[in-house]
Structure 1
Amino acid sequence: MSLSDGIGDFLTRIRNAQLAMHRETRVLFSKVNSSILKILKEEGYILNYEKQESDSIPSLVVQLKYYDKSPVINDIARVSKPGCRYYSKCKDISKAYNGLGIFIISTPKGVMTDYNARRLKVGGEVLCRVF
């Protein structure tokens, strides 16, 4: 099985698991996916994640977070796609949902939120938005 968009698959697995009210889901391991999960945990969108290996295939097990029986993540979507990459300068990075959500951006200094990218004055590829 080959994936043309690993991040898109990763986000779709999280979105579908939350809609189905699963407590956890398993996603393929990559450094970018791990960095995105680290940000989601720091921002309070997920409970925890850990790396596991089954049949010598590394994966990440994500523990999803709910509040009053509804998912904490209302919307998680890919912004920059393989067919149409979206890059933004630091001064052009907007706030997601008027500051209620976050953009996750891949910069030369690593994967970070839109707030940190503006603070460090770095731009990059806007990977996804989370609300």
Structure 2
Amino acid sequence: MALTDPLGDMLTRIRNGQRAKKDSVVTPASKLRANVLEVLKREGYIRGYSEEELAGHAGLRVELKYFEGQPAIKHVARVSKPGRRVYSGSSDLPRVRNGLGIVIVSTPKGVLSDAEARDQNVGGEVLAEVF
């Protein structure tokens, strides 16, 4: 079965893994997924990620992060979906929980958090929101 939203699939695996108190989850690899994981790592929502082999294909192992037994990620949701893309300029980027969360944005300068995109004055496709 073909996967229509690979990024949404990865975010769902992270969400389900944290609800099940897993140490790590595995997802198929792609450049976009790796870039989104890099933003999550920079912002402190995951401990890290590594590449590994999955049944002959490249995969990514995401090490989940917990604080006092609670998941570091309280909410993760896909904003721009295959059926409805959401774009935003640098001045119009949404704020999540009044700045406590982040929005992950795909820009011409790469995949960035909303704060990084505002600093570099670039907009783009709003991929996901995390807090």
Give the TM bin, normalised by the shorter chain.
over 0.9
CA deviations on 1:10-68 (whole Å, 9 max, x unpaired) are: 10000000001101000110101000111111111111110001322111001100011
Pairs within 5 Å for 1:33-44 = 33-44=33-44
Number of equivalenced pairs: 131
Displacement of 1:74:
0.1
Distance in 1 (CA, whole Å) between partners of 2:54 and 2:46 is: 22
Could you tell me which residue of structure 2 aligns to residue 48 of structure 1? 48
Could you tell me which residue of structure 2 aligns to residue 28 of structure 1? 28
Matched position secondary structure for 1:21: coil
Report the TM-score, using the length of structure 2 for normalisation: 0.97
Could you tell me which residue of structure 2 aligns to residue 67 of structure 1? 67
Distance in 2 (CA, whole Å) between partners of 1:46 and 1:16 is: 14
Report the TM-score, using the length of structure 1 for normalisation: 0.97
Distance in 1 (CA, whole Å) between partners of 2:59 and 2:42 is: 20
CA RMSD, Structure 1 to Structure 2 (Å): 0.7
**1:125 has 2:125 as partner:** yes
Could you tell me which residue of structure 1 aligns to residue 76 of structure 2? 76
Unaligned runs of at least 5 residues, structure 2: none
Could you tell me which residue of structure 2 aligns to residue 92 of structure 1? 92
Displacement of 1:108:
0.7
Label 1:54 to 1:94 Cα distance change in 2 as closer, same or farther (>3 A).
closer
Distance in 1 (CA, whole Å) between partners of 2:52 and 2:101 is: 29
Displacement of 1:94:
2.3
User: How many percent identity over aligned positions?
Assistant: 50
Displacement of 1:97:
1.0
* Runs of 4+ displaced beyond 3 Å: none
89-98 vs 58-67, greater mean Cα deviation: 89-98
